[in-house]
Amino acid sequence: MPSYNIIEMGSRKRIALVAHDNKKRDLIEWARYNRAILVEHDLYATGTTGALLAESLDLQVTRLQSGPLGGDQQIGAMISQGEIDFVIFFWDPLEPQPHDPDVKALLRIAVVWNIPVACNRSTADFLISSSLMHDPYERLMQDYEEYKQRLKNRA
């Protein structure tokens, strides 16, 4: 049976916002509608999405690389370093992406680190309207020490 650690999420969440080209407009509209909530949190976004959000919302958005240039991987690294609490990723399931492996890796790392992820507008609405958005939250994180030890013993 796995053991767990508790990771404290503050009341001010660190939110990554990502959107594929065909979903940028949806994300911008969603973010405008939810601006009053988003202003209370720290926002991070990949390339063009970050520029569009900063301009549309008149908010500070920490911009990372474009997704195909490594932005998705940057967000994944930030998750694994405990620097991202929440991911909103409006991805386009109908359009092949040249960086699909990066997208899958980002979603995988979010699940490994037990990070809330919304991949469409409805899920984003439910997550951002949750009473947990405004309060500290104790996220259970599986303790991977046993897994790391097994890997070390194989080497």
Write down all domains in the chain, each with its CATH number in brackets. Answer: 4-154 (3.40.50.1380)
- Of 122 and 91, more confident: 122
Nearest Cα neighbor of 145 from 34, 31, 4, 43 is 4
Which residues, 6 or more positions from 152, have their beta carbon under 8 angstroms from its beta carbon? none
Q: Mark whether 72 is an active-site residue.
A: yes
Q: State the catalytic residue, choosing from 21, 58, 72, 135.
A: 72
Half-sphere exposure of 136 (CA within 13 A, CB side): 5
90-110 pLDDT, tens digit per residue, is: 988 777 666 677 788 999 999
pTM score over 0.95: no
66-80 pLDDT, tens digit per residue, is: 888 888 999 999 999
∠ CA 90-72-83, nearest 5°, is 100
